[in-house]
Amino acid sequence: MRLVITSEYHFTHTSEGVFADALYGYDFWSRYLEVFSDVVVIARSGERGGSAADQAATATQLRVTGPGVRACLLPSVRGASLLQPGVVAAVVRAAREAFEQPAALLFRAPGVVPLLMTPLVPRARALGVQVVGDPQQSLRSAGMAGAVAAPMLARHLSWLVARADATLYVTAEALQRRYPPNAAKPTFSASDLDLPAELWGAPPPPQGAGPAMALIFVGMLDREYKGLDVLLRALAMAAAAHTLTVVGDGLLRAQYEHLALTLGLGTRVRWRGALPSGAAVHGALAQHELFVLPSRTEGMPRVLLEAMAVGLPCIATPVGGVPEVLGEEALVPVGDAMALASRLDAWGAAPWLRQQQATRNRAYALPFEQSARDARLLAFWRALRAAAIK
pLDDT tens across 18-76, in order? Answer: 998 878 899 999 999 999 999 999 998 988 765 554 555 556 788 999 999 999 998 88
State the Cα–Cα distance between residues 331 and 315, nearest whole angstrom: 6
The letter for the amino acid at 194 is: D
Q: Look at residue 144 in the predicted model and tell me its pLDDT.
A: 47
What amino acid occupies position 96? R
Q: pTM of the prediction?
A: 0.84
Cβ distance 167 to 190 under 8 Å?
A: no
Say how far apart CA 12 and CA 9 lie, in whole Å. 10
Cα separations (Å) of 299 from 190, 328, 343? 12, 18, 23
How is the beta sheet containing 314-316 ordered, strand by strand? Answer: 269-273, 243-247, 214-218, 290-293, 314-316
Q: What are phi and psi of 305, to 5 degrees?
A: -65, -40
Q: For residue 57, what pLDDT is reported?
A: 53
- pLDDT score of 59: 63
- 370's CB contacts (< 8 A; 6+ apart) are 194, 195, 196, 197
With 0-12 CB in 10 A as exposed, 13-18 as middle and 19+ as buried, what is 183? exposed
Low pLDDT (below 70) residues in the chain: 49-59, 78-83, 138-148
Residue 331 DSSP code: B
Rounded Cα gap, residues 177 and 362, in angstroms: 26
As beta bridge partners, residue 11 has: 45
Q: Which of 334, 325, 311, 147 is nearest to 226 (CA)?
A: 334
**What's the pLDDT at 54?**
52
41 touches 72 (CB < 8 A): yes
